Amino acid sequence: MSDILAAAGLTKAFGGLPVTRNVSLAVRAGEIHALIGPNGAGKSSLIGQLAGTLTPDAGRVTLDGAEVTHLPPHLRARRGLARTFQVSALIGGLSALENVALAVQARAPRPLAPFRRAAGDAALEQPALAALAAVGLAERAAAPAEVLAHGERRALEIACALALQPRCVLLDEPLAGMGHAEGRAIVGLLGGLKGRFAMLLVEHDMEAVFALADRVSVLVEGRLIATGPPEAVRADPAVRAAYLGEAG
């Protein structure tokens, strides 16, 4: 299988604090690749380097075989790399539908048309509604983003990513802060999207990880200590010692 997104030898330090140490990792077409690790292991920092919001000190990032290490985030997005944020990033003042319409707009012809009214533009809102329906938010289309419940906000972020028709999506803890039932709904949602695009899934919820992931990578103190199928990783003694063991 071909790699959509690959990191080779990524290294990054904040001041004296190393957060990414020689990490090499690949996301294959269509797979869900889970990235797990304790708090502060450097998962979000790694996502940042893949998405382009952080520049690595060393190493390379390739997207569909082309080097993108020094490409800014918006150009990586245009090449098919979408993401969700650990802390929900939605545009307040816009409705759920309009938030997704903004994502549709990014892919539409003339995305910055200066005199073309955005509100009520069917060319944007129809695909947006389809993406909302795909995450089960169709009835909430008109609700302002800021009044949505936490779980709805996370689903809305996924709808925005969907609307970009990505090749690969980086999901930074999509279940964070959710109740169990809400969390299962998102797991069901992500499972249903499997195969439409590749996903790198950062998640603390092991139930979700083992339900969804084709492969699991384990990051501890900025270093990748294991990569492989879920069962193999679960059985890995180093992983048990460093991570799973401590969680019981």
Ligand X SMILES: Nc1ncnc2c1ncn2[C@@H]1O[C@H](COP(=O)(O)OP(=O)(O)OP(=O)(O)O)[C@@H](O)[C@H]1O
First to last CA, the chain: 34
Task: Say how far apart CA 44 and CA 86 lie, in whole Å.
Answer: 8
The stretch near ligand X (CB under 6 A) out of 11-19, 90-98, 150-158, 190-198 is 11-19
- Other beta carbons within 10 angstroms of residue 111's beta carbon come to 12
Residue in the structure block whose two tokens are 């270093």: 223
CA distance 10 to 51: 13
How far apart are alpha carbons 115 and 101 in whole angstroms? 17
247 contributes a contact to another protein by CB under 8 A: no
237 binds, among ligand X, another protein, Mg ion, none (CB under 5 to 8 A by kind): none
Strand, coil or helix: what is 38? coil
- Residue of 50, 103, 155, 168 interacting with another protein (CB under 8 A): 103
117 binds, among ligand X, another protein, Mg ion, none (CB under 5 to 8 A by kind): another protein
Contact call for residue 195 and another protein (CB under 8 A): no
Residue 12 or 43 with smaller CB distance to Mg ion? 43
Of 60, 107, 196, 204, which one interacts with another protein (CB under 8 A)?
107
SS3 7: strand
The helix or strand, by DSSP H or E, that contains position 134, with its residue range, turns out to be: helix 122-134
Cβ atoms of residues 173 and 202 within 8 Å = yes
Binding footprint of Mg ion on the chain (CB under 5 A): 43-44, 86
118 binds another protein, rule: CB under 8 A: yes
Contact pick of 45, 49, 84, 99 for ligand X (by CB under 6 A): 45
User: The dihedral of CA 2, 218, 50, 104: what is its sign?
Assistant: positive
Smallest separation (angstroms) from Mg ion to the CB of 40? 8
Note whether 57 binds ligand X by CB under 6 A.
no
Instruction: List residues near another protein by CB under 8 A.
Output: 51, 53, 72-75, 77-78, 82-83, 85, 89-94, 98, 102-103, 105-107, 110-119, 121, 160, 164
What residue ranges bind ligand X (CB under 6 A)?
14, 17, 19, 37, 39-45, 86
